[in-house]
Structure 1
Amino acid sequence: MVASFVEATGVTAVDSHTYAAKFDTEWCVGSVPHGGVVTSVFLRVAATHFCTTLAAQNQPHTISLHVEFLRRTQEGPAKLVVRDVKLGRQTSTIHITLSQDGREEVVGYLTQSNMNTEAGVSLRTLWYLHPPSRPPPLDFPKLFVGGEDPHWIEQTNRPSPKFRKVSNRVRTFLPREGQVALGLVDEWLRLESGERFTNESIGFVSDHFASVIEGLWRNERSDTRLPPFWYPTVALNLDIKKILPPEGVEWLFVRVRTKCIKGGRMDLEVVILDQMGEIVALSHHVVLVVGTERNLAARRNGQTKI
């Protein structure tokens, strides 16, 4: 039976500053746990840590995250150790190290606050999606069941679904008439299990999208077949703007865009909106573009690098 998202990103306290997780094969890309799943595990550790060990801080919400992927993670158990870096009245910052088999593989800093009690200036800006996206679905249940929306259609031809197993855990809806620009992907997401997205899910959402380089590749190459690439994340930043309701939300919109792909490395800018068009989170990634053999290569001396 396939693990649910909550199960796949679940954490258990070992002591006041140590947590255990277990990465499930069905939430992997090849042999490597999906980077968004790892990021959501970091968010769950922070949420658990600030409602138990640091409950007195009254700072339940992650507002900022920076994660560095040092080495490939793998299926199975993982240990996450928390260091309380700064405990403050308005914000607090923790450092998390994820290790497997004695290898430090992922490290991150997370800043916590209480978005319900934040005080200070709030101003409307003139920001909007440019170029504008296709109109959002008018009837989300109808889109989900029958794909009848005139502007959006479910992605059914998932590339390499046996390699990118995690893609089977999400239902992705793309513009029926194609993306509005090259190097850009707009999508509506829904978890295949029917689970709802919560703030801890945002890490996963920020790192799950259809290939952003496919259109660019076909635009420049005479051979339009995209090679079997793997896109390991080197660094991921997340700026969370909004608290999702406790019961979660069924749908989120994602726009991902790259500005420069050079030497096997690309940037990604990610915008996450809710059904009302409000910004939920902003994210920026540094990503490598490498062959899938790098994902499946045997580990050497217990210190496998990406």
Structure 2
Amino acid sequence: MTTFADVLPIRQLESHKYSANFESDWCIGTVPNGGYVTASFMLVASKHMQLTHSTRKQLHVVNLHLQFMRRTGIGEAIFTVKDVKLGGRISNLHLTLTQKDERSGKMVEEVMGYIMMSDMSAEDGLSLDSGYEMSPEPLPVSLPALVEGKDANYVRRGRDPFADFRRAGRHMAMHLVRPDKRPSHFPKAMIDQWVLFQPQGREGRHTNNALGYIVDIFPQILERYVNAEMEEACLGQDLSAEEAEALIKNRAQPNAKYWYPTLNLNLDVKKLLPEEGVKWLFVRVQAKKIQNGRFDLEVTVLDESGDIVALSTHSALAVDSSRNTTREKKDSKSKL
């Protein structure tokens, strides 16, 4: 089965320097998806501990904070790692992603962050039942029925109306609450989904190294407000390519009006998934305040048993999509 490590190979250049190649198929417009980039950081950190600090056996990301300073781009990305603190249980790394500016030819810092590494398989210590329950409670699901499109509460989301622009979403099969089953007490700015990893249409499995991507791939919440007609058409039915294109042609705006770039992303990993991965994960995404073109996201990931796998928070912008598709020179004065 395909995992995210197969999708994005990492190459070691030096003991503290690595490279990856960002592909167009994982982009939003011209910019690699923030979750795709986040997963690349996780893969680099794991590779670094495996190759440079192999005796520590700390291959698992337990906490991550990334700051997205400039847009990334398609092509080679260079990661530089600094060992901030190497500990017996947890090691702290500082990673910086740089890419070459096409016009100046200079390497520019685009994303940087801190990652905490540990051996989750060997964790031991105080464990207590917090009594936490999701509110509102997710609707029940029959995953075998969902595969056949027969679940009472969830159904696979159809083709994104701007699939060419949001190419990164093609690799995840999203199953959302049927519109006629969505309770009135569910906030509008909240999306529940059961997801399958299907890179390039292949059958995949969710593993810990994909969590960065998993927490940043979902139908955009703001589209439910600014583009409700087409977004609702994709919720609760499978659209053929012809039907989706017909919807687009009936609108004055042929492309997505907005782009939602990530400013920063935090990830707290609570559970180690099996090495071979799992088929299904549940993801809840919710925004609490959307104001002045800036908004927050809170993401909760559960496994089939309802156990928390990961928690994530994002800060993001809502800007005109032309900010994505019009590439400018990357220098010290460039903006997102």
For the Cα contact (< 8 Å) 1:194–1:250, is it kept in 2?
no
Partner SS, residue 191 of structure 2: strand
* Counterpart position of 2:195: 189
* Counterpart position of 2:158: 156
Report the Cα distance in structure 1 between the residues aligned to 2:60 and 2:296, rounded to whole angstroms.
27
Higher helix share: 2
* Counterpart position of 1:215: 224
Report the Cα distance in structure 1 between the residues aligned to 2:189 and 2:326, rounded to whole angstroms.
29
Residue in structure 2 matching 1:200, options 188, 196, 209: 209
Report the Cα distance in structure 2 between the residues aligned to 1:17 and 1:159, rounded to whole angstroms.
42
Structure 1 residues 56 and 30: CA distance shift in structure 2, 3 A: same
* Counterpart position of 1:282: 311
Q: How far has the Cα of 1:185 moved from its partner?
A: 0.5
Report the Cα distance in structure 2 between the residues aligned to 1:238 and 1:92, rounded to whole angstroms.
16
Q: How far has the Cα of 1:60 moved from its partner?
A: 1.6
Structure 1 residues 301 and 113: CA distance shift in structure 2, 3 A: closer
* Counterpart position of 1:30: 29
Partner SS, residue 90 of structure 1: coil
For the Cα contact (< 8 Å) 2:3–2:210, is it kept in 1?
no
Q: Is residue 172 from structure 1 mapped to residue 174 from structure 2 by the alignment?
A: yes
Q: Is residue 235 from structure 1 mapped to residue 237 from structure 2 by the alignment?
A: no
Report the Cα distance in structure 1 between the residues aligned to 2:4 and 2:122, rounded to whole angstroms.
29
Structure 1 residues 118 and 139: CA distance shift in structure 2, 3 A: closer
Residue in structure 1 matching 2:146, options 143, 146, 160: 143
2:208 maps to a residue whose letter is N
TM-score (norm: length of structure 2): 0.84
Q: Which runs of 5+ in 2 are unaligned?
A: 101-106, 229-250
Q: Which runs of 5+ in 1 are unaligned?
A: 220-224
Report the Cα distance in structure 1 between the residues aligned to 2:330 and 2:143, rounded to whole angstroms.
53
Residues 21-67 of structure 1, C-alpha deviations (whole Å, 9 max, x = no match) = 00110110000001000000000011111111011222121100000
* Counterpart position of 1:270: 299
Residue in structure 1 matching 2:138, options 110, 133, 146: 133
Report the Cα distance in structure 2 between the residues aligned to 1:298 and 1:62, rounded to whole angstroms.
32
* Counterpart position of 1:72: 71
CA RMSD of aligned residues (A): 1.9
Structure 1 residues 54 and 217: CA distance shift in structure 2, 3 A: same
Structure 1 residues 67 and 301: CA distance shift in structure 2, 3 A: closer
Runs of 4+ off more than 6 Å: none
Residues 244-303 of structure 1, C-alpha deviations (whole Å, 9 max, x = no match) = 001001111100111111110001000000111100000000000111101011212555
1:152 maps to a residue whose letter is Y
